[in-house]
Amino acid sequence: MVVKIYRSARSLTKKVFETKKRGKTIGLVPTMGFLHEGHMSLIRRARKDTDCVIVSIFVNPAQFGPKEDFKKYPRDFKMDFSLCEKENADIVFAPKAEEIYPENYVTYVNVEKITDTLCGASRPGHFRGVATVVAKLFNITMPDIAYFGQKDAQQAIVIKRMAEDLNMSVRIKVMPIVREKDGLAMSSRNVYLNLKERMQAQSISKSLKLAKELFDSGERNSGKIINKMKKVIDKQSEAKIDYMKIVDTKNLKDIQKISGKTLIAAAIWVGKTRLIDNIILN
């Protein structure tokens, strides 16, 4: 099947209208490219569920802070395109930044409260950028279903909240985290890691695995679990904890004693690379 590339929002929206008129459903997979198995799992699911699969590839400047890695974020459009071909996507939407944020652009979507914690606390303005670009992608592609990864747990919660709060008629599907053999969650940023850092990067998933084991053996005290998790990271010479938190999956508020559905989320720096990971306890 031929995958069509769109660079223009207007022409993509026109195509979407035509597709919907023929009674076809639209699945959207928003990405920043440099695709890996994590992204592929979303595309595959979209392919199963919907008639027309749109993969957006856009490194969104609005979600990077001034000192963050926007410039050096890995990009490889050729590879991304061939992976989209392999997974039988219908459309790749790869706009230039000026297409999404033209001159005089001033409108942003701000999801409050749940963006003040976790990654939102470490990366001010990040979720404003994410919510804005995703809202724009929803308007451009009018998807029946949009696919996100559990890897970015807070992002998925923020997008669900936004869609509900703003009465957007899109279903949000959140897919499980795809991991490397040693447990490291797949991420486009993993290419930043040198050999030593790559070894030490395992510690974030190891700490979460330990948390799950503690929980399964009856531990319910968040403080105790976090302390033990922190020790796993602290043993690594190149790793530094950004945050480690046990929170309610709805409001992302800290939980002292685990009872209902709970998110354990962590972010660490390994050298100059920031990694995130999480698990859900039921």
Active site residues: 39
Residue number with CB closer to ligand AMP (57 or 258): 57
Exactly one of 101, 148, 192, 215 binds ligand AMP (CB under 6 A); that residue is 148
Residue number with CB closer to ligand AMP (39 or 225): 39
- Helix, strand, coil content of the chain in percent (nearest 5): 45, 20, 35
Q: Are 278 and 263 in contact (CB under 8 A)?
A: yes
**Which residues 6+ apart lie within 8 Å of 165 measured at CB?**
111
Q: Is 32 in the site for ligand AMP (CB under 6 A)?
A: yes
**Which residues 6+ apart lie within 8 Å of 135 measured at CB?**
109, 162, 166, 168
Q: Is 255 in the site for ligand AMP (CB under 6 A)?
A: no
Exactly one of 152, 197, 238, 277 binds ligand AMP (CB under 6 A); that residue is 152
Q: Considering only CA atoms, which of 194, 136, 131 is closest in space to residue 157?
A: 131
Smallest distance from ligand AMP to CB 223, Å: 28
The footprint of ligand AMP on this chain (CB under 6 A) covers a number of residues equal to 17
DSSP assignment letter at 116: S
Q: Is 39 in the site for ligand AMP (CB under 6 A)?
A: yes
* Beta carbons within 10 angstroms of residue 165's beta carbon: 11
Q: Is 205 in the site for ligand AMP (CB under 6 A)?
A: no
Residue number with CB closer to ligand AMP (155 or 262): 155
Q: Is 95 in the site for ligand AMP (CB under 6 A)?
A: no
Q: Which two tokens stand for residue 231?
A: 């020790």
**Which residues 6+ apart lie within 8 Å of 13 measured at CB?**
140, 141, 142
* Residues between 163 and 192 with contacts to ligand AMP, criterion CB under 6 A: 175, 177-178, 185-188
Residue number with CB closer to ligand AMP (175 or 255): 175
Binding site for ligand AMP (CB under 6 A): 31-32, 38-39, 41-42, 148-149, 151-152, 175, 177-178, 185-188
